[in-house]
Chain A
Amino acid sequence: MSSRSQRSRQSTTTRITDEQIVDLLTKLQDLLPETRSRSSGRVAASKVLQETCNHIRSLHKEVDDLSERLSELLATTDTTSAQAAIIRSLLEM
């Protein structure tokens, strides 16, 4: 394991170490609900990477769907209601 990471120091890409996976886990803890249930750190690096990729993809899909939804709503809303809604959401933010 250590020899592999020694070799990768010369290569153009470095392997993501377990330490970095733990770091990623900590940072994403709130965002990856599956990781919350795991108390001890014995998580396969590949699993975390896979879950992160899936999570990002689902977020992309959400942005896509919400864009479509917003597009429909904007088309049917008149200008004054749209402005009122925008101001309302700004205040609620």
Chain B
Amino acid sequence: MQDMNAMQATHFLRLLSRLKPLMAPTLPISTSQQTKFILKSAYASMAYAAGPRRVWSRALVRRIRRNRRRPTMRIINKRRHVVRPRRRPAEGGSEELRKVIPGGDTILNGARLVEETSDYVQFLRTQVIIMKALVSSFSKGQHG
């Protein structure tokens, strides 16, 4: 588990370091853009650390890649357009859980949903720990 944390942390820091050149006085980005970048980096490093074996990590990567593309034109390619079949409302109260897990609506099996959920929560929890450590580290640096 320690190796996972280190990988997740390193990847997050690597992504964050891309922020510094953007903050040069000649090319300033707004605080909200900065925050969005950090937020995307957080979820990206979670997905990276988890690898492609998880539905949630693949869904996150898809989501991040989609946001990167500028929505200029809406081209409806009939070949690519996937029609999602109308599912029977899931029993057992798992609908809400499926909404909260990335890609959760594609998970049909209850057992798989449980696996994905506990996995996702672990990585989320780790990400929070990493970011808290960074915040305290940066705060120390300011007073040091």
Residues of A within 8 A of B122 (CB): 31
In the assembled complex, the CB of B28 is this many whole angstroms from the nearest CB of chain A, namely 10
Give the number of residue pairs across the A-B interface with Cβ within 8 Å: 167
Partner of A59, one of B111, B128, B135, B144: B128
Chain A residue at minimum C-beta to C-beta distance from B35: A71
Q: Are B121 and A70 in contact (CB under 8 A)?
A: no
Interface residue count for B (Cβ, 8 Å)? 57
- Chain A positions within 8 Å of B19 at CB level: 74
Please classify the interface of chain B as helix (H, G, I), strand (E, B), loop, or mixed, using the class held by over half of its residues. Answer: helix
> Which of chain A's residues 1-35 have a Cβ closer than 8 Å to chain B?
4, 8, 11-17, 20-21, 23-24, 27-28, 31
CB neighbors of A among B37-57 (8 A):
38-39, 42-43
**Nearest chain B CB to A90 CB, angstrom units:** 7
Interface SS, A side: helix
Of the listed stretches B60-68, B74-82, B92-100, chain A binds B92-100
A52/B121 contact (C-beta < 8 A), A70-B38, A71-B35 known: yes
Of listed B87, B100, B132, B139, residue having the most chain A CB within 10 A = B100
